[in-house]
Structure 1
Amino acid sequence: MPAAARYASFSAPNGWVHIEAKPGAKIHLLTPNTGVNVRIWKGGLVAATVLTVLLASAGVSSAAANVSYNIWTWNVAGWTMHRGSTSNGLIDVISDSIRNRSTHLAALNELCWGQYKAVQANLRATNWGEDPEDYSRFESTNDTGCGGEKSGIALFSKAPMGTANRITLPDDGRVEKRKLLCAPLEARPHLRFCTTHITTSSDTIGSGPINQQQLDAVRAHVDAFNANGDTVIIAGDFNAQPSYNRLDKWYAQSVNNANNPNNTGAHRELDDRDSRCVGYGENSQDDGIPAGPCGPGKKVDLIFVREIKIVGAYDGDSLSISNNCGGACSDHRIVIGSVTVTVAS
Structure 2
Amino acid sequence: MLPAVSAAAETTSPKTYNIWQWNVAGNKLNAGSVTSGMVDGAVSSIVYRNADFAAFNELCANQWRALVTQLRAANWPDDHDNFGRFEASRTADDPDVCGGEAFGNAIFSKRPLGTADRIELPDDGTDEKRNLLCAPLLADSATRFCTTHITVASDADKLKQLQDVQGRLDAWVNAGQTVMIAGDFNVQPHYPSLDTFYSATLETGINGGNRGLFRELDDTDPVKTELPSCLGYGEWTADDKTVSQSPCKTMRKIDMLFVSEAALAGPDSYSADSLAISTACDRTDKSPDGRCSDHRILIGTATVK
Q: TM-score, normalised by structure 1?
A: 0.79
- Indicate which of 50, 75, 90 corresponds to 1:102: 50
Task: Determine which structure has more spread, i.e. the larger CA radius of gyration.
Answer: 1
Q: 1:282 corresponds to which letter in structure 2?
A: E
Q: 2:48 corresponds to which letter in structure 1?
A: N
**Larger RCO (CA under 8 A, 6+ residues apart):** 2
1:257 to 2:213 alignment: no
Q: Runs of 4+ in structure 1 displaced over 6 angstroms? A: 26-29
Distance 2:117 2:24 in 1: 22
Deviations 1:163-218 (A, max 9, x none): 00000000001001000000011111110000000001225xxxxx1100100100
- Indicate which of 194, 209, 217 corresponds to 1:247: 194
**1:231-246 matched pairs, under 5 angstroms:** 231-246=178-193
1:333 to 2:296 alignment: yes
Contact 2:170 2:213 in 1 (8 A): no
Q: Which residue of 2 aligns with 1:324?
A: 280
Q: 1:79 corresponds to which letter in structure 2?
A: N
Distance 2:36 2:273 in 1: 26
| CA shift for structure 1 position 255 | 1.1
Distance 2:297 2:261 in 1: 23
| CA shift for structure 1 position 227 | 2.3
| Paired residue total | 282
Normalized per residue, the structure richer in strand is 1
**1:140-289 matched pairs, under 5 angstroms:** 140-144=88-92, 145-202=97-154, 209-276=156-223, 277-288=230-241, 289=243
| CA shift for structure 1 position 266 | 1.6
Contact 2:55 2:107 in 1 (8 A): yes
| CA shift for structure 1 position 338 | 0.2
Cα 1:103/1:242, change in 2 over 3 Å = same
Segments of 5+ residues of structure 1 without an aligned counterpart are 1-25, 30-60, 204-208
Contact 2:20 2:53 in 1 (8 A): yes
Contact 1:287 1:296 in 2 (8 A): no
Deviations 1:252-291 (A, max 9, x none): 1111111112111121000001121310000002334221
Distance 1:253 1:228 in 2: 20
Q: Which residue of 2 aligns with 1:71?
A: 19
Q: 2:210 corresponds to which letter in structure 1?
A: N
| CA shift for structure 1 position 292 | 1.1
Q: Which residue of 2 aligns with 1:308?
A: 262
Deviations 1:135-161 (A, max 9, x none): 100001000342321001000110010
Contact 1:286 1:296 in 2 (8 A): no
Q: 1:278 corresponds to which letter in structure 2?
A: L
Segments of 5+ residues of structure 2 without an aligned counterpart are 224-229, 283-289
Distance 1:125 1:266 in 2: 38
**How large is the RMSD of aligned CA atoms in angstroms?**
1.8
Distance 1:281 1:88 in 2: 30
